[in-house]
Amino acid sequence: MTSPGTEIELQVERIAHGGVSVARHEGRVVFVSDAIPGERVRARLTETRKKSFWRADTVEVLTASEHRRPHVWPAASVDRDPAVRAGGAEFGHIALEHQRELKRRVLVEAMARMAQADVEAGSEHPAAGVTVQALPGDDAANGLGWRTRIRMHVADDGALGPMAARSHRVVPVDDVPLATPAVQAATPFGERFAGVATVDVLAPTVGDPRLIIGEQAPSTIRERVGEREFTLDDGGFWQVHREAPAALTSAVQRALVRELIDPRAHNLDLYGGVGLLAAAFADVAGEQTIVTSVEADERATDHAAENLAEWLGAQAETGRVDRWLRALEQSASAAERARLRAASVVLDPPRSGAGRNVMDTLGRLAPAQLVYVACDPVALARDVALAAEHGYALSRLEAFDLFPHTHHLEAVATLVRA
């Protein structure tokens, strides 16, 4: 049996979810990294235990795609051995426009396969023709300089770097070109750190860049989005692309079906963080809007309460979304259920998605519309299918390249009762 370490030639067929491509070897599926559909590559097997598929890393490109470019980050180039190839820029060898096309294909395929929604251009679906949109400034910068936060891991000798792809090995580096100039300038590349596992570097829009060395006590920072400022912990969640908070604010506002908005309904912002998308909703719904933001992180909830203080009807509650919704369903009176049926719900779950428990509870509560912000196309498609079981239909879909030179994308979907 072929074992890890064996090198084989592969003809790469298509892109798969997760940033790898699909090839076949003697009839067996092989997921291969650092390759582009249409290429022929020599690849080193890394996993052969599964009967249904193997995994491999490209070590040489034999026939290159027209879309292949020199990697934007030499530390991650296919010229390096996979064991010391920096992770975090797995599409950096692909022309930027083609990266977006590959991401679009993954999204379209996931929606067709899991949600039975044909959103390919030319279909009659209301969300057909979806593209992956660039954020302002990214094309001019070739997709570089967008990360306002990076996490560097500490090697045994104290050097800083990312992990190698699919590994716990730290790859020391002296630059991170996806980071903003301010983050790069603040990163102590040449220094050694002992006794800590990570060093985080961030450059908020308000104030100076800062380091978080290991398990450091949190401090408060401010981020500006348009004319509004948000407070949050320096180690708390915030969209990492410099333009992402503004882009998602606008996308959520476009996704809301205006005639379905009832400012006095029991509107919800689930997985609400520090209130960015609750504020996006309330800006559309008006000064008298009622909206409850729900977030598991207590400190984030405290910040959300402060960030949403301009709306008297806004509140922030701490709780796991699935448990919080279940308690709401069990305690709601008839009048409360009516307000929930008139509600708009914005949800921005983690990469794993909302899942059956949350989608089923929302389905039973039956709000007028769901605006779902997703950072994983497969999780989104699965949850769209779960919503369909409760009578919701996908009516709008936008996608954004919030993570250039990686396989990740962001999507914003509108679901309304059919």
**CA–CA gap between residue 72 and residue 337 (Å, rounded):** 53
Q: Which of 115, 375, 380, 413 is catalytic?
A: 375
170 Cβ partners below 8 Å, 6+ apart?
Answer: 153, 154, 155, 156, 159, 160, 161, 162, 163, 164
The answer for residues whose C-beta is within 8 angstroms of residue 302's C-beta and 6 or more apart is 316
Beta-bridged to residue 23, according to DSSP, are 12, 30
Looking at residue 102, its amino acid is L
Distance CA 121, CA 172 (A): 43
**Residue 417: what residue type?**
R
From CA 254, how far away is CA 324, in angstroms rounded?
27
Q: How far is CA 238 from the centre of its chain?
A: 11
Residue 143, C-beta contacts closer than 8 angstroms, at least 6 positions apart: 72, 96, 99, 178, 401, 404, 405
Distance CA 369, CA 417 (A): 7
Please report which helix (H) or strand (E) contains residue 392, including its range: strand 392-400
Annotation says 238 is catalytic: no
Catalytic residue IDs: 375
